[in-house]
Amino acid sequence: MHDSQTMKVRTEPGEPSRTWRRTAPGLLGAGAGKRSVLAFLALAALAGCLALLVYSWLGHRSIKDSAQAVANLGRITRQMNDLQSLLHDGTAPEGSLGTALQTIRQDLNNVISGPGSTKVFQEILVRSDTLLTQAQRALERRVLAKANGSTDHGETAAQLGEASGLMIETSLQLQSELDRRSTAVHHRLALSFLLAGLAFCAIAVNAALQLRNSGADGLVSDSAAFPLLLAAAVRNTDEGVLITDTGIEIGEPMILFANDSFKSMSGFPDRKLVGEPLRMLRTTCLREKEFSLLEHSYSNSKSATMETIRWREDGSKVYCEWHISPVRADDGKVTHFISILMDVTRLREQEEAQRRSKEELMEAHQRLMENQQQLIHSEKVAFLGQLAAGVAHEINNPVGYVMSNLETLTDDIEEIQSNPTGRPSSAGDPRARFFAETREILQESITGLDRVKGIVQGLKNFARPAEAEIKDADINHEIEVALKIVNNELGGRCTVRKHLGDLPTLECRPGQLNQVFANLLANAAQAIAKHGAITVTTEFTGSEILVKVTDDGIGIEEKNISQLFTPFFTTKPTGKGTGLGLSVSYGIIQTHNGTIEVESTIGHGATFTVRLPVPTKDQT
Ligand SMILES: Nc1ncnc2c1ncn2[C@@H]1O[C@H](COP(=O)(O)OP(=O)(O)OP(=O)(O)O)[C@@H](O)[C@H]1O
Ligand SMILES: [Mg+2]
């Protein structure tokens, strides 16, 4: 079942053991402190609010009573005024006046002893009552006086008037007292609402704190339900969890807990593992080497991490990352070991897929490069094929006259040999003629052979394999080589003007670059119908070498410009052009990190500009 196995192991000697019994330190104290201050604040605010409400309610009641007292006083005052006018008129019978006065006094006494009047007002009102008593007595005296023939009620009326004045004054004072008290009650009510708001805020913040702390901070561990929550979490987590004892008691660690995730990751989905010795994992889900690492972690009480691969029955792999940690009691003694398993199969499969696609990409890139090189080479061969006839003609001419010169020399030598005396014949002295002609003939032959050598060298350079080596090259020299190659194409029709500037050497593939220049020159020549000029300019800008090939030929139609660098695009008749020259040139310039651009005006020719970056010393 387990054909092969790979494993990564990392132990962390200095790492503190991860003890799952720990709670988040510090947070508990800080959170509780804040919460108790807030609770106290809320309570104090609530108590203040309540006290103010009761006080306001009492105030409101006393205001109500006082208002009632003011109303009663107003009524009594009105009655007294009525009585006073009756006395002035002298129309009312004394009996009814006495009863009315008695009723008024009764009412006033009710107000004095009632809940609405304060001590100060009571004093004033008692003075009014005294005046009323005097008025009553005056009335009684008036009844007696009537018996003596007197009709004067002035004394009674005066006392009534004074009493009523006092009551009006009291009413006014009571009224302003009432206003003051009602403002105070309003203030108290506002303050109590403020305190209620404060209490509400404190309660809300307290609740929020409690909620937050009952989350990840571990404050929930205070609660009695925490062990149950912890057990449920460990049972149901997607990570495999295995807990064993240390094995000290019976000599080998025993499995105390294994959750369902552990069982399915380790290949025992339906088996009861609790009570089994740890060694049962050996060779079933852990290979020998992995098991000894587990043992090493147990015997040294150290945390360890390892990765295992298990083969399923269907041949697929399960990758698991194991984190083994000792569990310590509060005194630091190791009591148990816990292993947490993470299924990293999907991650590893993704990595594997990524690695495969990267390899495929590299292979495809390699194939592409090979194809490109092949294309460059085939284009070169085709180009050479086209040039072969012209080149043959080029070589034929100098070789022809070198041959004829050598024949002349051979004839001269034969003549000298057949006439050893050196007698001059009809054609003159053969020796003299030989010496006179030989220098000129040899010079001509050397020039002719030089030309042949140049052409052959050019062809040799040009025909170098596409994957030619990288070396330092002089671009002006490569242009000269290209010119030699296309010399036949240029024929006598094209005047070539060269403006070759001072260039630094360039690290490049010279064989490929002269292929590009030859293509550009051949295209320029082919674009010139009868006679014309081709200008080749080179220039160094400080960061790049510029090569411009300009002709005054037919130019390029605008619709064709975007297709020039597409393979097999040609406007030339079959057999004349393959349409590969520019596309191959484009590829070559790209591999040199350069660019190639074209400008053309139909009927006035075209300019192709090649830019080749020259790396600075730092870049190389
Ligand atoms: N200097 C130029 N003047 C006008 N047209 C040009 C010039 N250079 C290229 N072209 C146009 O671009 C086309 C493509 O050129 P390219 O060199 O790729 O192929 P080709 O010359 O047709 O064939 P090959 O180079 O493979 O023999 C040419 O057919 C021509 O129409
Ligand atoms: Mg071409």
CATH, range 9-17+223-343: 3.30.450.20
Ligand 2 centre to CA of 615 (Å) is 29
Residue 144: the pLDDT is 65
Ligand 1 centre to CA of 404 (Å) is 40
Backbone angles phi, psi at 84, to 5 degrees: -60, -45
Residue 619's pLDDT band, with cuts at 50, 70 and 90, is low
Q: 587: Cβ below 6 Å to ligand 1? A: no
Q: Is 81 left (phi over 0), alpha (psi -120 to 50) or beta?
A: alpha
Q: Is 544 left (phi over 0), alpha (psi -120 to 50) or beta?
A: beta
User: Does residue 306 sit in helix, strand or coil?
Assistant: strand
Ligand 1 centre to CA of 382 (Å) is 14
CA–CA distances in Å: residue 138 to residues 105, 169, 259, 534: 14, 24, 110, 150
Nearest CA to ligand 1 atom 19: 579
Third-level CATH fold of 29-213: Four Helix Bundle (Hemerythrin (Met), subunit A) (1.20.120)
Percent of the chain with pLDDT over 90: 25
What single string gives the DSSP state of each residue in 124-185? HHHHHHHHHHHHHHHHHHHHHHHHTT----HHHHHHHHHHHHHHHHHHHHHHHHHHHHHHHH
Q: 580: Cβ below 6 Å to ligand 1? A: yes
Indicate the top mutation candidate among 572, 578, 580, 596 to test ligand 1's pocket, ranked by most ligand atoms within 8 A of CB.
Answer: 572
Residue 7's pLDDT band, with cuts at 50, 70 and 90, is very low
Give which of 315, 49, 312 is closest to 203, Cα–Cα.
Answer: 49
Tokens representing 415 are 């003549």
Q: Please give the Cα distance from 273 to 279 (Å, whole number).
A: 11
Q: 520: Cβ below 6 Å to ligand 1? A: no
Ligand 2 centre to CA of 346 (Å) is 54
Residues 160-176 have a mean pLDDT of 73
Domain limits, CATH 3.30.565.10, in the chain:
367-613
CATH, range 367-613: 3.30.565.10
Q: 284-343: per-residue pLDDT in tens?
A: 778 888 888 888 999 999 999 999 888 877 888 889 999 999 999 888 899 999 999 999
- Judged by its nearest atom, the ligand closest to the C-alpha of residue 375 is 1
- Judged by its nearest atom, the ligand closest to the C-alpha of residue 566 is 1
Atom of ligand 1 nearest to the CA of 569: 14
User: Does residue 494 sit in helix, strand or coil?
Assistant: strand
CA–CA distances in Å: residue 4 to residues 275, 288, 308, 311: 30, 12, 11, 9
Q: Please give the Cα distance from 80 to 135 (Å, whole number).
A: 11
- Is the pLDDT at 11 greater than 70? The verdict is no
Ligand 1 centre to CA of 387 (Å) is 15
Ligand 2 centre to CA of 516 (Å) is 10
Residue 608's pLDDT band, with cuts at 50, 70 and 90, is very high
Q: 387: Cβ below 6 Å to ligand 1? A: no
- The residue with greater pLDDT, 258 or 384, is 258
Give which of 426, 404, 403 is closest to 415, Cα–Cα.
Answer: 426
Residue 157's pLDDT band, with cuts at 50, 70 and 90, is confident
- Residue type at 280 in one-letter notation: M
Ligand 2 centre to CA of 529 (Å) is 15
Q: Please give the Cα distance from 462 to 478 (Å, whole number).
A: 10
Locus of tokens 């005294």: 130
Residue 240: the pLDDT is 92
Q: 577: Cβ below 6 Å to ligand 1? A: yes
Locus of tokens 């309570």: 43
Ligand 2 centre to CA of 383 (Å) is 8
Give which of 246, 233, 318, 241 is closest to 278, Cα–Cα.
Answer: 246
Residues ≥6 apart with Cβ < 8 Å to 157: 84, 87, 88
| Count of CA atoms in the C-beta half-sphere (13 A) of 490 | 19
Residue 94's pLDDT band, with cuts at 50, 70 and 90, is low
Q: Is 26 left (phi over 0), alpha (psi -120 to 50) or beta?
A: left
- The residue with greater pLDDT, 384 or 599, is 599
Q: 536-574: per-residue pLDDT in tens?
A: 999 999 999 999 999 999 999 999 998 898 877 889 886
Domain limits, CATH 3.30.450.20, in the chain:
9-17+223-343
Q: Please give the Cα distance from 133 to 252 (Å, whole number).
A: 114
- Judged by its nearest atom, the ligand closest to the C-alpha of residue 527 is 1
Q: Which of 176-185, 563-572, 588-597 has the highest mean pLDDT?
A: 588-597
Residue 479: the pLDDT is 95
Q: 571: Cβ below 6 Å to ligand 1? A: yes
CA–CA distances in Å: residue 235 to residues 231, 255, 271, 303, 501: 6, 15, 16, 22, 81
- Judged by its nearest atom, the ligand closest to the C-alpha of residue 586 is 1
Residue 90's pLDDT band, with cuts at 50, 70 and 90, is low
Domain limits, CATH 1.20.120, in the chain:
29-213
Q: 582: Cβ below 6 Å to ligand 1? A: yes
- Is the pLDDT at 361 greater than 70? The verdict is yes
Q: Which residues pair with 507 in a beta bridge?
A: 472
